[in-house]
Structure 1
Amino acid sequence: MVWNLDARIPVLSLPDAAGLRQALRAGPSAALLLPEGAPDIGGAVATARFQPFASHAVACACCGGRSPLAQALDRLFLERVRGTCPWFERVLALTETPDAAALLEGVLREDSVVTARFREDRGG
């Protein structure tokens, strides 16, 4: 028998707000990852927002040049483990453009801190 346990938090990329709302209603508890300027969506236990571009240089002292998307995922993770928000079992990410979806996919694959905490949810 083969066992495979991946305890990282699944992140589901959704291309529109309607799909995000539907996934949110389908349960289990979820946090939202929304681009700046997207309207608020109720029903999530936590929300983090990100800008779809790098705001600082690669060797920046405050963020080390990590993308705003990676930093938003960090905030969600820290809220979860510190208990400053209710526990969530997954993250639903609004990626309305192909560029936003590619950015999320890249962060989930290439950012070592994000990769240690989160995984792409391919099952929907």
Structure 2
Amino acid sequence: MVRIDARIPVFFSSTAEPATADVMWLVEDAENAAWDSRETGHVPGCTCCVARSPVAEAMGRLFRARAVGEVPFFTRLGVVPASEGGAVAVRQALETDGLVSACYRLERAG
């Protein structure tokens, strides 16, 4: 039996490249300790986001925007952390946040 992992792969980059038809970018703003997909629509602090990390909230908002057509239907998510701490926060969200881990997975190298 072939198993298909339909979650969106997440990869790290040092810069956000121009958007393409299949890649959306999530960028950490170290100065404001926030993550920004540069998209709007989901209200922070709603019941599905309570007690979640800022990166988990941002990834959840981005997935919702994709699902309802507010952003293009991307098939990969590039992440640009401002520091190693930002990269750790993304990995932690992928491992511990139920919504994030249901929607995204860390892309395998190679």
TM-score bin (small chain):
0.7 to 0.9
Q: What is the distance in 2 between the residues matched to 1:80 and 1:28?
A: 12
SS of the residue corresponding to residue 11 of structure 1 reads strand
Where does structure 2 lack aligned partners over 5 or more consecutive residues?
Answer: 39-44
User: 2:25 touches 2:78 (CA, 8 Å); kept in 1?
Assistant: yes
Q: CA deviation at 1:63?
A: 3.4
* Residues 62 and 117 of structure 1: CA distance in aligned 2, closer, same or farther (over 3 Å): closer
Q: What is the distance in 2 between the residues matched to 1:61 and 1:114?
A: 15
Amino acid at match of 1:66: R
Q: CA deviation at 1:78?
A: 0.7
What do you get for the CA RMSD once the two structures are aligned? 2.8
The normalised TM-score by structure 2 is: 0.76
More helix by share: 1
Partner of 2:37: 48
Partner of 2:71: 85
Deviations 1:1-35 (A, max 9, x none): x5120000111122x11xx42xx68x661111001
The normalised TM-score by structure 1 is: 0.68
Between the two proteins, the alignment pairs up a number of residues equal to 100
Partner of 1:44: none
Answer with 1 or 2: which has the greater Rg. Answer: 1
Partner of 1:30: 23
User: 1:28 touches 1:90 (CA, 8 Å); kept in 2?
Assistant: no
Moved segments of 4+, more than 6 Å: none
Q: CA deviation at 1:123?
A: 2.0
Partner of 2:42: none
Deviations 1:68-116 (A, max 9, x none): 1001101110111101111101100002311111111000000011001
SS of the residue corresponding to residue 65 of structure 1 reads coil
Where does structure 1 lack aligned partners over 5 or more consecutive residues?
Answer: 39-46, 50-55
